[in-house]
Amino acid sequence: MRELFLIFISAVLVNNFVLTYFLGICPFLGVSSHYESAIGMGFAVVFVMSLASSICWIIYHIVLAHFNLIILEYVVFILVIASLVQMVEMFIRKYSPSLYESLGIYLPLITTNCAILGLALFMIIRDYNFIQSVVFGFSCGLGFSLVLVMMAGIREELKFSDMPEVFKGAAITLITAGVLALAFMGFSGLISS
């Protein structure tokens, strides 16, 4: 139990995918301009990550490790992730057209999102068991959503702030992301092991 809790805290705060490993920067900058679409994207990523970690774990241990095909893990993981994202996209288009509109191009981009491939690879490297992998996937997704929603909140406020012309747009967004990453570095001493 303690192990799972540590994995959770580590993935959400200490080794946050976006701000510590710099994975998944594309949707982090692309979908964070509106609070609502950020929340939608966050949920989609949590869903895809939890599902991807469990299915990748099953396929890795049942098929790949069994047949000694570990060399093919990249291809298989990408295949799994792409199919999952396609499924999520279908569900969202069916049940929430407005969310589908606002996510736009970024939903298909989860397919090639390094954060999700990174998740699957980390899970294998760290030799997690099934429960740990699912918790790891879920908490990585949660960490991603947390940062995405924080960023969206800040960017919505930034729209009303008075700033020099040169900082407007991409510049202030990148600066904000950097400051957030600095802030998250404060968590780095949280778990000592």
Partner 1 sequence: MNEIIIAVVSLGSIGLVFGVILSVLDKKLKVEQDPLIEEVLNLLPGINCGACGFAGCKAYAGAAVENKDLYGGCLPGGKDINEKIAAALGLKSDFKSTALKVVVLCGAKSDEKKSSFDYIGPRTCSFANISLANIDCRFGCLGLGDCLEVCPTKALSIEAGLVKVDYSKCIGCGKCVEACPRNILKVVEAVNKDLYVVSCSNTDRGPFTKKVCSKGCIGCGICVKVIKDSCFYLEQGLSKIDYKKIGDKTGQELESALEKCPVKIINKFDA
**What does the binding site for partner 1 look like in residue numbers (CB under 8 A)?**
59, 63-64, 67-69, 72, 75-76, 79-80, 83, 86-87, 90-91, 93-94, 97
Side chain identity at residue 115, one-letter code: A
The residue among 4 and 93 lying less far from partner 1, judged by its C-beta, is 93
Cα dihedral 143, 146, 149, 151 sign: negative
Closer of 169 and 189 to partner 1 (Cβ)? 169
8 Å CB contact between 46 and 141: yes
Q: Sign of the CA dihedral 91, 43, 115, 52?
A: negative
Q: Which is nearer to partner 1, 78 or 109 (CB)?
A: 78
Any idea what DSSP says for residue 160? T
- Return all residues near 72 (Cβ < 8 A) that are at least 6 apart: 64
Smallest gap from Cβ 107 to partner 1, in A, equals: 14
Minimum CB distance to partner 1, residue 151 (Å) = 24
Min dist. Cβ of residue 67 to partner 1 (A) = 5
